[in-house]
Amino acid sequence: MQKVMHKLSLPSALRLSLKQHAMSADIPDDDELNKLVHKLDDLNVKIEAIKAKALANRAKRDY
């Protein structure tokens, strides 16, 4: 059986890792942790928008 790897952006990977480490270390969901997660989510949204714009520009150029 072959594993399928989904490509995550760096902020998504960091968010996932942070949440997993917080859970395994019994770190409570405090304000500081939530702020970090929110910042990573915001950064990911910005990255996805830039990627979409780059793909659209590439499609226009190649067309």
The domain spans of the chain are 30-63
pLDDT of the residue at 1 = 43
Under 8 Å between Cβ of 44 and 18: no
Write the secondary structure of 6-63 as one string of H (helix), E (strand) and C (coil).
CCCCHHHHHHHHHHHHHHHCCCCCCHHHHHHHHHHHHHHHHHHHHHHHHHHHHHHHHC
3-57 tens-digit pLDDT: 545 688 899 999 999 999 988 998 888 899 999 999 999 999 999 999 999 999 9
